[in-house]
Every structure is written in C-alpha cells, then in structure tokens.
Structure 1
Amino acid sequence: MGGTGDTVAGREALIRFEGIGKTFGRVRALSDVDFTFMQGECVGIAGHNGAGKSTLMAVLAGVHAPTQGRIEVDGRDAPHYDANAARDAGVRCVFQELSLCANLTVAENMCIVHPQLRGRGWRRTATRLMREKLEAIFPGNGLKGNELVSDLTLTQQQMVEIARGFTVTDQPVRLVILDEPTSSLDAHTADQLLAFVRKAAQGGITCLLVTHMLGEIERVADRVMVMRDGSIVSVLGREQSSRASIIQAMGQHLEAERAPGAARVQTGRDRERHFEWNVGAKRHTRIEASRGEVIGFAGLAGQGQTEALLAIYEAATRHGPSRAKVAFVAGDRGRDGVFPIWSIAQNLDLRWLAGGAPRRRGLVDLAAARAVVEAWRAKIGIRGAAMSAGILSLSGGNQQKVLFARALASDADLILMDDPTRGVDVGTKRDIYQLVHDEAAKGRTFIWYTTENEELSHCDRTYVFRSAAVTRVLHADECTEEALLAASFEEQAA
C-alpha cells in the first residue's frame, strides 16, 4: 500500500486525481498530487497547517478548479469538475469553518445544502431527517431540529453540520469530507462520531478524515495520506499508520508532550493564592488560581466551561480584588476571534495596541508594531501568507496561531483559553505547550479549557465541569482518563 495508493484490494476506484496542481497567484498550494479515493474506505489525511490539506479537499469538493492535472469519476474523465459535478458524484463536505446560518433554525439550514426539501411539509421532512441522522451519529444528543442555530453551543453546531453532510435526500452520499470534525467535540461525542465513520465506511461510504488528532486517524483509517508543502509525501496502510510513523512522515521528531517535570507543578501549588472567582448559577463553583499556575477546565462539552471563562473575564476587567490585565483566546474563531476584513498583522497586534503600546508624539509607533508582529510570527510559526494579507488567506490552524500570538504579545497577566489548539498541527501544539510553560514561569496565569484530555497533563490543577458546576478538582498526577470520565458524569460536588 505504498506509493500513491492507487489500488486497494477488494475496492473500486471512486475518484482519481492525476498530477493535480493548484496555484493562487504566485503561491503554489498543490503540486503533482496523485491519489485514488476508493469506495468504502476511510482515508486519514495528516500534515502541518498550510500543508495543502484543505486546498486538496476544496478541489475534491469542486470549490477550486485545479490549475493542472486531470480528475476521473467512476473511471471516466471529468474535464469540467466543479461543485455540481462533485455533488453528482456523491461528494459531501463538512469543512473546518462551519457554514451554518446562525439566524435560521436547524431544519432551515438543511434546505441550504438540500434544495430538494421544498413544497408542502418540507419543514417537517427536514426536521425528521436531521433528527434521524443526529441520533444515528450522536445517540442521546437531545436536539429536536427546530432550534435556532445561534442558540446552539459550538459543539452542537458541529454536530448539526456533520449530520447534514451525511443526510441523504435525492442522491446517495458516496464520499464525505470531514475537515477537523472533532475539533469542538468532547471525547465522548468524538468517540460516537468515529464509531459512525467506521460503520459508514463499512456500508460503502468513503470517509476522508482530515485531522491533527493523530490518535483518531490511527483508530479508524484504512489508509493515511501525509502531506507536506502541497504534495503527498507518504501513503501508509492501516498496519503502518501508527502515530509515530505519521509524525515521522510529516518530518517531525516524536517528543514527549507532557509537562516538563513535576517540579514546576509542585511550586505552582505552593504559591500564594492570587485570583479567586465564583462562576455559574450554582454554589461551590469557585475557581482559584495563583500567579504562574496553569489551570485546566475539563468535562463533556457544553457543561459551562466557556461560560465560566467569560464570567472570569468579566470579573477580571471590573474593579475589585480579582481585577487583572486579561486576554482571551476564543474557541469559535470565526464568530469571536478573527476580524475577517483585517490583515494578519492587524489581527495579531490588536491586543498589544490596546495594552499601552509605545507611542511617538501621540501616535502608535509603527516600527514597534511591526517588530512585535514579526517576532511573534517567527516565534509561533505563522505560515502561508504575508502579514499584510487578509487573515482569511490563512488556513484555519494558522488563524488560530494568530489568536494565540495576539494574547501572548499583550501585557495580560491572565490568559483565558477556550480550546485554543483546535485545528492546530502536532508540531505547533508542542510549541504552544512550551510557550505556556515558559510564560507561566514568568508569572503569567493561564486558565485553559480543552476538549483534548491529554492536554490536561500540562495543567497544575483541573476543574471538571458538569451542568455548569464543578464536580471535582484534580491535580496533575490525578488527571487520568478514567478519573476525568468519572468526574464528567458525577453530580455536583457537595
């Protein structure tokens, strides 16, 4: 199963790429991509941010026409492959940046990608289809299909987007692109999705899993496509697709990703308390933190963690004993993070400017601003476009790096992070973890909500949430998968 993986035993070719290339002006996003997507297989797609994964998926979805190369569908040449041709071929997409209309209901959002839902009773039909698919993928999800999307949590929105992609109306679904589908899901909900993906592949639907969660690829993929600099550098069969081999193909060394020693954690516990907040409507939801501590928030998604971060932000910006200079790394970057019409540089230095940036004759020192932007671009590895380019010219992972750099470049002594590594590659995650520890050692306090339980090993203490209340507080050495799962289903601590 090496090379480009054009043949897989027992399966027929669905869509074949030969010599596919894509350029945007002078930027070459894809170069000589050869790959055959087979019927009824799960393909994991891995690579750094900016490696070309999303561009390749956009070509497969018919969003971008290739600059060079040819595409075959069911063994026949497809010279005019566009979005309509892709849909006729049974291709469906769940992109990393959610495409739901916030002012419409869940059922109304169904009709955007399924225009066949019209006529008398369309709303009832759309609601039924959505509820059936949601229940098939995420049993016990609790959604009814008539909710307004703006009232849903980010996790629920991602669930709706995924269910919409797998829903069948007039044409069968033959290939589904899942771009970072678990980035806003907790471990339990992600497990439900992965189980459904395997079942769908066994039922004949080709599933493409584009993710930086290499453990998920290892669990479900029949083959793994590894991309670097717009090209496929390796195709691994199921037997060879271990996490270590994927990282090696990406061109990185496998290093320890746990906190760098217990000494820092222990000293963090011994520090004098500096911050204290009461959050949520329930009693006993008190959050405490010391200067230089890294505090984790955990639990199933949508249990009040983001609301607690927002309450802490509000309390920290008011006059009082817990007042602090604070910065916030938003989890939903499309809605709460980036300023879409601004440049990368403007998005990055915004918080720095607000925090008392140096001025010359009452005006912002532009040279100092450029130095800050360039320093953090290099430090956190923002790649893909000039800093003067629009923020949306970057991949989702690189946009997330900008938000993280914005917070760390500021004068904030309290950094609130709402699942900040969503859509970020394994190498950048490692760099972010090191930055968090380095900045904590300088006295900055971090409060970090994450849906990736393994990231909690970097925290001094972790507050586990259920129903907007803290059920348990775990120290770093107690933060096992079993303890987190048990605490996630407990009732509020007495």
Structure 2
Amino acid sequence: MQVSSQALAGEALVEARGAARSFGAVQALRGVDLQLRRGECVGLVGHNGAGKSTLVNILCGALAPDRGDLHFAGRPADGAAWSLREARRWGLRCVFQELSLCDNLTLAENMRIAQPQSAEWAWRKRAGAQLMATLDRIFPGHGLRPDDVVGELPIGKRQIVEVARAFTPGAQPLELMILDEPTSSLDGQAAAQLLAYIRSFVAEGKTCVLITHKLREIFAVTDRLVVMRDGQVVQATPTAETDRERLVSAMGQAVVNDAPQAAAARTRTAGGHAQTVQDVVQVQASTQRGIALHAARGEVIGLAGLAGHGQTAMLLALQEASQHNGKDAMRVEGGTAFVAGDRQTDGVFALWSIARNMTVGWLAQLRARSPLIDLKQEQQQAQQWRERLGLVTPDMDLPIGSLSGGNQQKVLFARALGSAAPVILMDDPMRGVDVGTKRDVYALIREEARGGRTFVWYTTEFDELHHCDRVYVFSNGRVVGELAGDDISEERVVALSFEEAAA
C-alpha cells in the first residue's frame, strides 16, 4: 500500500553527512551536515559565498562532493550514479537563481523540454495546458499565454514561469523543492502568492528549501532556519525561536541600525517643483493624466509599482536619452551608468574575467592620458573595489562565472559606481545580494548622492523605497503618482499601482 507524503510528515527525507567540496584553492564546503524532514520549509541563509549554492548543487546532483554521504528517503544517493536526472527521478526539483528557460521558445515549448510528453500531435497544446494550470494555481491573474515567447517577457514574468514549470506535476514524483532566490525579480503581489503556495505545498507533507536574502520572507514562511558561513553550517534552529538580530549575527555580520535613511536633503515635495533645484533628469508626462518625472543633482529617485508596468522601459529610455540629448520629452545631463538586475542577459560578459567585467565601465578613465589602457591602474582600482564591496574570490583573473550570483551582482555595482557617470540607473539591482552587502551599498548610494550623484532606482523590494528622496509609482506604462517623505507607504504604492489607465 502506498503511503501519502502527508502521513510521513516529520520523517527525514534528505540527509547530508560531512559534505565537502573544493574548487581549486577555494574550499566551498567544509563538512556540512544537513537534515531535511517531510512537511517542513527550511530557510537556508548566509552571506554571498557562504556555500549555499554549492550545497544545493550537490543535493540536486549537479555537483559531486569531494567527500561525504548523501541519503534520500533512507537510500544512499552518492557516487557516480547521482545526477540531475537521478535526483529528479527520486522527486527532487530545483529552481536555480539563474533562469534556465530558452528565450527563443514559447512557454509551451519550454514546458515540453522540462517534461517531455509522448510524441502525439497535440504535445504543444498539452504542455501549454499543464503549465497554465500551474500558473493559475500559484499566480492567479498572471496574464500569460502558452504561445508567449520567453525572450519577449520581462524578467519578473520569466521568473514566475520558471517557478511554475518546476512545480508542474508530471510522470515523476515531487517530494522536495529547492527555491534559490525565487522572488528576486517578483513584485510584492507575485511574491506573496508564491509564499502562500509554499505553505500549502509543505502542508501536504512535501519539503521545501527556501534560499533568500529577504529576511521578511524567511520569517514569514519557514519552519526552521539553517545558517551557513564560510562553507559550514553554524546554526540550525526553529524559526520561531530566533529573530532578525540573532540571525544576522549568526551569518557573521554586525548587527547595526540600518534603518533606511534617504539622501542628504529633500529638494522638493511631491507634486511641487522647486525652481532653485537643478534637474539633471527630466521626463514629460506620457499622457494628459500622467505625471512628469524629475530628478535633481544629488537625489535618489525610486520607481515603484507592479513589475512590468514600464519601470525598466523608463530606465532604458533614460540611458538612450543620455546619449542623444535634445529630445523635448526626455532630457538627461551627462552620462549614465546602468546596474542591471537581469545580470545574465544585460550585465555580465560570461567569457571575461572578474576584473575585466568590473573595469569595462571605466575604460575612458583608464586611458585619459594615453590611447592605451593603464593596466596597472586598472588592477589597482579593481582591487580597491574588491575590498570595498567584500568580493569573495581568491583571484580577480578568474572567470566571472566562478562567482556566486550575489558576488556577480557586486561586480556590476562596482562597474557603475567606479565610473565617472553623474547619473546611475539601477534596475532592481539587489537580486541575490546578502543583507550585509545591501547595507553597504545603501551607504555607498547615500555617500555618492551627498557628493552630487543622481540615482534612479527601480526596486521590487518595498523597504528599499525608504532609501529614496521621492518615489514615482507606475501603472500601465505611465507615472500615476509621486510620493515623498511620510507619504511613501506600502498602502499608497499599492493603491496607485492599480490606478486605471487614462481613457
């Protein structure tokens, strides 16, 4: 007789004993012991480079440990036979931080790749229907269709497709879901939908591992917390028995008062324009009912609203306008530097080294007195930013792919902030970045703003809006609200986000 997962709730599903893994001189894991039980959601936390992604890759069969044992449902799962395919056959699935969808294929075709159907003529319809059913269940109101091409979707939509594809039932069982930064590109509504689904998933006796640097989500959805630091598990405790301060301390980061502080001085109030302030960014209203966007020198401007409603398009338009000024509708004084949130598509050069990925934004400065790049100066500046942002790597000449996702994002921050551009455009840039680095970047932004730099910052993390002087809320491709000071609240942002488009 087959026993349901719910009836087995509380039993050990996965056990790792003494798992270790090295990459050259880098000791990524140092003898990790981990147990995952049925019917629980485990939060796996730690700073960038703590070993979380390496552990996940061993659990799901993408990497073999140098030493240690792995057991799945009481059966040994180590050795040459353990692989991604074998792990999936046993009921383990993983949503990695970097998306795995094929951009040139439709949603239905991507579903077919993940779960091959029989070769009947109607495979496309069947695969699309399977995926749509899961999307409807997890993300009601998603607005997607089976024939949508992945590459034409904003990154938030691509992320919900990635998640739904992994949760779509098929011929193979689903016992353990590992989610690595699954809400990093989702707006608040979609993130809340996913977190609610995770709770219903584990209530059925299934197991979930959630990796996220958003501590609010960790405390909202997990049953137990496992903290990693320097390749080891340093703490495992029920979520209800700890708090934010103790968690951050266990991660090896100082507990400080990192309450949001906006840039130096508020130069205008929402709805009013101070004539004494020099605007370096000006965007006219896109419709009669829309609101014009302005950014003064030294201001930090937030772009908010539901994902995919024009925030990224605005940043890209500003970047283009900085190169072709003179347009009446949009003006940007001086150059811009861009921090991409979708780093694999818009950020990193995969075949280049860490150092060259960082310094490519500084080329004009590195050859100011000569047609040739000053390689010594390039190396010195890259090393300075490595130390300033705490980049975890033994060698800056290693490929960018040797870094964790969060450390890759640090490289993109260094590329932009190390440039001479007076305007920094940031497209939801904190994807996969640990809480300590976030705090350091917030401080850098405030410091640079006090020095006269202007930031235009789209974020899906509401707490980050409190680091902004003013916030523009987007709906259906236009600015529908401007908030400042105490008016910046989650309730106001949500209300404006759903404002109807002008007739």
Report the TM-score range of the alignment, normalised by the length of the smaller protein: over 0.9
Asked whether the 8 Å contact 1:384–1:395 carries over to 2, the reply is: no
Query: Structure 1 residue aligned with 2:304, among 285, 294, 298?
Result: 298
What is the aligned partner in structure 1 of residue 188 from structure 2?
187
Q: Distance in 2 between matches of 1:108 and 1:286?
A: 41
What is the aligned partner in structure 2 of residue 347 from structure 1?
357
What is the aligned partner in structure 2 of residue 125 from structure 1?
126
Letter in 2 for 1:265: A
Asked whether the 8 Å contact 1:273–1:288 carries over to 2, the reply is: no
- Greater CA drift, 90-99 or 282-291: 282-291
Change (3 A) 1:261 1:93: closer
Letter in 2 for 1:334: Q
- Greater CA drift, 295-304 or 383-392: 383-392
Letter in 2 for 1:314: E
What is the CA distance between 1:440 and its match in structure 2? 0.4
What is the CA distance between 1:117 and its match in structure 2? 5.1
Query: Structure 2 residue aligned with 1:368, among 337, 356, 377?
Result: 377
What is the aligned partner in structure 2 of residue 311 from structure 1?
317
Q: Give matches, 1:71-470, under 5 Å.
A: 71-80=70-79, 81-116=82-117, 118-260=119-261, 264-267=264-267, 272-278=277-283, 282-283=287-288, 284-320=290-326, 322-353=332-363, 355-359=364-368, 361-470=370-479
- Greater CA drift, 136-145 or 112-121: 112-121
Letter in 2 for 1:295: I
Asked whether the 8 Å contact 1:275–1:290 carries over to 2, the reply is: yes
Asked whether the 8 Å contact 2:44–2:228 carries over to 1, the reply is: yes
Change (3 A) 1:493 1:258: farther
Gaps of 5+ in 1: 1-8
- Greater CA drift, 185-194 or 16-25: 16-25
Q: Distance in 1 between matches of 2:228 and 2:452?
A: 38
Q: Distance in 1 between matches of 2:25 and 2:281?
A: 52
Q: Distance in 2 between matches of 1:287 and 1:117?
A: 53
What is the CA distance between 1:201 and its match in structure 2? 0.6
Q: Between Structure 1 and Structure 2, how many residues are aligned?
A: 484
Deviation string, structure 1 residues 161-188 (Cα, Å, up to 9, x no partner): 0001111111121111100000000011
Deviation string, structure 1 residues 329-376 (Cα, Å, up to 9, x no partner): 1121000000000001111011110x3423565311111111111111
Asked whether the 8 Å contact 2:262–2:466 carries over to 1, the reply is: no
What is the aligned partner in structure 1 of residue 41 from structure 2?
42
Deviation string, structure 1 residues 392-433 (Cα, Å, up to 9, x no partner): 110000000100110011110000000111110000000000
Asked whether the 8 Å contact 1:225–1:232 carries over to 2, the reply is: yes
Q: Distance in 1 between matches of 2:463 and 2:173?
A: 38
Q: Distance in 1 between matches of 2:332 and 2:26?
A: 48
Deviation string, structure 1 residues 7-33 (Cα, Å, up to 9, x no partner): xx9511111111111111221111111
Residue 36 of structure 2 aligns to a residue whose secondary structure is: strand
Q: Distance in 1 between matches of 2:370 and 2:316?
A: 36
- Greater CA drift, 86-95 or 280-289: 280-289
Gaps of 5+ in 2: 1-7
What is the CA distance between 1:56 and its match in structure 2? 0.5
Change (3 A) 1:129 1:246: same
Residue 500 (structure 2) pairs with residue 491 (structure 1): yes
- Greater CA drift, 20-29 or 294-303: 20-29
Using structure 1 for the length normalisation, give the TM-score. Answer: 0.94
What is the CA distance between 1:150 and its match in structure 2? 0.8
Using structure 2 for the length normalisation, give the TM-score. Answer: 0.93
Change (3 A) 1:279 1:73: farther
Moved over 6 A (4+): none
Asked whether the 8 Å contact 1:462–1:476 carries over to 2, the reply is: no
Asked whether the 8 Å contact 2:179–2:208 carries over to 1, the reply is: yes
User: Percent of aligned positions with the same letter in both sequences?
Assistant: 49
Q: Distance in 1 between matches of 2:483 and 2:224?
A: 38
- Greater CA drift, 429-438 or 117-126: 117-126
Residue 265 of structure 1 aligns to a residue whose secondary structure is: coil
Asked whether the 8 Å contact 1:279–1:311 carries over to 2, the reply is: no
Asked whether the 8 Å contact 1:471–1:493 carries over to 2, the reply is: no
Q: Distance in 2 between matches of 1:280 and 1:23?
A: 54
Asked whether the 8 Å contact 2:227–2:250 carries over to 1, the reply is: yes
What is the aligned partner in structure 2 of residue 5 from structure 1?
none
Deviation string, structure 1 residues 271-302 (Cα, Å, up to 9, x no partner): 61322433685443421011000000000101
Asked whether the 8 Å contact 2:89–2:173 carries over to 1, the reply is: no
Q: Distance in 2 between matches of 1:425 and 1:493?
A: 40
Change (3 A) 1:493 1:378: farther
